[in-house]
Structure 1
Amino acid sequence: MKTVMSLITLSVACCATADPQQITYSYDDSQAQYFIVSYVENGSALRATVQRQGTYFTNYTKLELDCAERNVRHTGMYSSLEELEKAQFDEMQGRVVDGSIADEVGKVLCKGTTLTASQSDELPAAEQSDDKT
């Protein structure tokens, strides 16, 4: 029984690292390409590693998406996966904004949840006044 539970835990904890999946996002450079290179479920959130391949350089960032609440936390952008692995997530969460990199990653990874392209970012007025993202 312990072996079965260990295998189940291991399979849930491992991240998906199949071929990188290209996503559509052209905010900063129309020549840049973006890929989800891996992701893992972390409780109620998903953590995704995103690669940006631009004209002059490639960099990486991690996103932690709360699909149900439509929130996101980021690391920074780093020039290597080794640097990225040392990075910590921001303490504060922000709202996922339509058309953002978090939104595009969520469209791929949050299927079957409340994170969809048609969902509104509108919050009740009391909550919206403190939202800085």
Structure 2
Amino acid sequence: MKTVISLALLSIACSAAADVQNIKYVYDDSDAVYSIVSSVDSGTAIQATVQRSGAYFTNYTKLELDCANRNVRHMGMYNSLSGVEKAQFDQMQGRIIDGSIADEVGKVLCKDTTLTASQVAPQTEDLPTETPTDDNT
């Protein structure tokens, strides 16, 4: 009976681990591993919970990404998933900075939602203007 329960728990743990997606982000500790442990599409934004696992501790933060406008709202850093889930987002949004954790998460989660520059503001070519000539000279 214990073997059956152990196998059931192992299969649940393996399926939960399959949802975790590691991301490439080297900021403060080259041995730390950053992973997206959950994400939810909330209409105009994507909320993502990111786990940082290092040699001495693991912590979590939550981001809300506005992919189309490249904006982000952060929450604080917490030692547990339950702590980060109870926290409120910052009221202010900021721009996503290239190379930041928000940028790396956005590269994974926003790939199907971001607008290209041509969709946001179509390019128009400047046409040369013609000046009238006087043929009576």
TM-score of the two chains, using structure 1 as the length reference: 0.72
User: For residues 73-113 of structure 1, what are the alpha-carbon distances to aligned partners after superposition, in whole Å with 9 as ceiling and x for unaligned?
Assistant: 00010000111111100000000000000000000000133
Q: 1:28: which partner in 2?
A: 28
Measure, in 1, the Cα distance between the counterparts of 2:115 and 2:26.
20
Unpaired runs of at least 5, structure 2: 1-16, 118-137
Instruction: Please say if 1:90 is aligned against 2:63.
Output: no
Q: Which has the larger radius of gyration?
A: 2
Measure, in 1, the Cα distance between the counterparts of 2:50 and 2:80.
11
Residue 59 of structure 2: SS of its match in structure 1? Answer: strand
Measure, in 2, the Cα distance between the counterparts of 1:63 and 1:82.
15
Q: 2:72: which partner in 1?
A: 72
Q: 1:107: which partner in 2?
A: 107
Measure, in 2, the Cα distance between the counterparts of 1:68 and 1:103.
13
Residue 113 of structure 2: SS of its match in structure 1? Answer: coil
Does structure 2 retain, via aligned residues, the 8 Å contact 1:18–1:37?
no
TM-score of the two chains, using structure 2 as the length reference: 0.70
Change in Cα spacing, 1:110 to 1:28, as seen in structure 2 (3 Å) is same
C-alpha root-mean-square deviation of aligned residues, in Å?
A: 2.0
Does structure 2 retain, via aligned residues, the 8 Å contact 1:50–1:60?
yes
Q: 1:123: which partner in 2?
A: none
Does structure 2 retain, via aligned residues, the 8 Å contact 1:106–1:115?
no
In the alignment, residue 62 of structure 2 is paired with which amino acid?
K
Residue 105 of structure 1: SS of its match in structure 2? Answer: helix
Measure, in 2, the Cα distance between the counterparts of 1:114 and 1:49.
19
**Percent of aligned positions with the same letter in both sequences?**
73
In the alignment, residue 38 of structure 2 is paired with which amino acid?
S
User: For residues 30-64 of structure 1, what are the alpha-carbon distances to aligned partners after superposition, in whole Å with 9 as ceiling and x for unaligned?
Assistant: 11000000000112000000000011000000000
Higher mean C-alpha deviation, range 18-27 or range 69-78 = 18-27
Unpaired runs of at least 5, structure 1: 1-16, 120-133
Measure, in 2, the Cα distance between the counterparts of 1:21 and 1:65.
17
Does structure 2 retain, via aligned residues, the 8 Å contact 1:47–1:65?
yes
Does structure 2 retain, via aligned residues, the 8 Å contact 1:18–1:38?
no
